[in-house]
A and B are shown apart, each in its own frame.
Chain A
Amino acid sequence: MTRITRLVGGIALAAVLAAPLAAQAQTSDSDSQIMQGLSQATMFDPSLTAQVLRQMAQDAVAKNLPLTLDKSEIAKRLDKLAQITVQIQFALGSDIIRPESYRTLGSIADAMHHPILMNYKFIVVGNTDTTGTRAFNLKLSQQRAEAIVQALVTVFGVSPDRLEAVGLGQEALQVPSKPEDPINRRVQIFTIGTVGPMPKPMPTNAP
Chain B
Amino acid sequence: MFRFAFGLAALLLAFTAGGASAQTMSYAEAGALIAKSCGPSIERFCAKDNLGTGEVRNCLMSHQDQVPQQCFDDYAAARASIAKRIAAQSDAYSVCSASAREFCAGIQPGDANLLTCLQTASKVVRPACKQTLTDAGWWN
Please state if B35 and A113 are interface contacts (CB–CB under 8 Å): no
A136 within 8 A of partner (CB): no
Please state if B51 and A198 are interface contacts (CB–CB under 8 Å): no
Give the residue name and chain of the A residue nearest to B48 (CB): A96
CB distance from A144 to the nearest CB of B (A): 10
Task: List 10 A–B pairs whose Cβ atoms lie within 8 Å, in order of A's numbering.
Answer: A9-B112, A100-B39, A105-B51, A107-B28, A114-B138, A115-B114, A147-B52, A154-B52, A155-B52, A203-B101
B20 within 8 A of partner (CB): no
A59 within 8 A of partner (CB): no
A75 within 8 A of partner (CB): no
B129 within 8 A of partner (CB): no
B interface residues with partner A (beta carbon < 8 Å): 26-32, 34-35, 38-39, 42-43, 47-54, 82, 85-86, 89, 100-102, 104-116, 137-138
Which B residues are CB-close (under 8 A) to A96?
47-50
Complex formed: what's the CA distance from A99 to B85 in Å?
Answer: 22
> From residue 77 to 96 of chain A, which have CB atoms closer than 8 A to chain B?
91, 94-96
Please state if B47 and A91 are interface contacts (CB–CB under 8 Å): yes
Complex formed: what's the CA distance from A200 to B107 in Å?
Answer: 9
A150 within 8 A of partner (CB): yes
Instruction: State which of A99, A100, A109 has its C-beta within 8 Å of the C-beta of B27.
Output: A109
Complex formed: what's the CA distance from A180 to B30 in Å?
Answer: 34
Please state if A102 and B106 are interface contacts (CB–CB under 8 Å): no
Give the residue name and chain of the A residue nearest to B103 (CB): A202
Please state if B42 and A106 are interface contacts (CB–CB under 8 Å): no
Given contact pairs A155-B82, A202-B101, A202-B114, A103 touches B32 in the complex (Cβ within 8 A): yes
> From residue 98 to 123 of chain A, which have CB atoms closer than 8 A to chain B?
98-107, 109-110, 113-116, 118-119
Give the residue name and chain of the B residue nearest to A153 (CB): B52
A interface residues with partner B (beta carbon < 8 Å): 8-9, 31, 91, 94-107, 109-110, 113-116, 118-119, 147-157, 198-206
CB distance from B85 to the nearest CB of A (A): 8
Given contact pairs A91-B47, A109-B27, A202-B106, A154 touches B101 in the complex (Cβ within 8 A): no
Give the residue name and chain of the A residue nearest to B133 (CB): A115
Q: A103-B32, A115-B112 are in contact. List 4 more A-B contacts (CB 8 A).
A: A104-B28, A106-B29, A107-B31, A205-B102
CB distance from B116 to the nearest CB of A (A): 8
Complex formed: what's the CA distance from A173 to B50 in Å?
Answer: 26
Which A residues are CB-close (under 8 A) to B31?
102-107, 109, 155-156
Complex formed: what's the CA distance from A88 to B116 in Å?
Answer: 32
Complex formed: what's the CA distance from A71 to B78 in Å?
Answer: 41
Give the residue name and chain of the B residue nearest to A39 (CB): B111
Please state if A103 and B100 are interface contacts (CB–CB under 8 Å): no
Please state if B27 and A110 are interface contacts (CB–CB under 8 Å): yes
Which A residues are CB-close (under 8 A) to B89?
113
Please state if A107 and B53 are interface contacts (CB–CB under 8 Å): no
CB distance from B33 to the nearest CB of A (A): 9
Please state if B86 and A157 are interface contacts (CB–CB under 8 Å): yes
Complex formed: what's the CA distance from A202 to B104 in Å?
Answer: 7
Which B residues are CB-close (under 8 A) to A198?
108-111
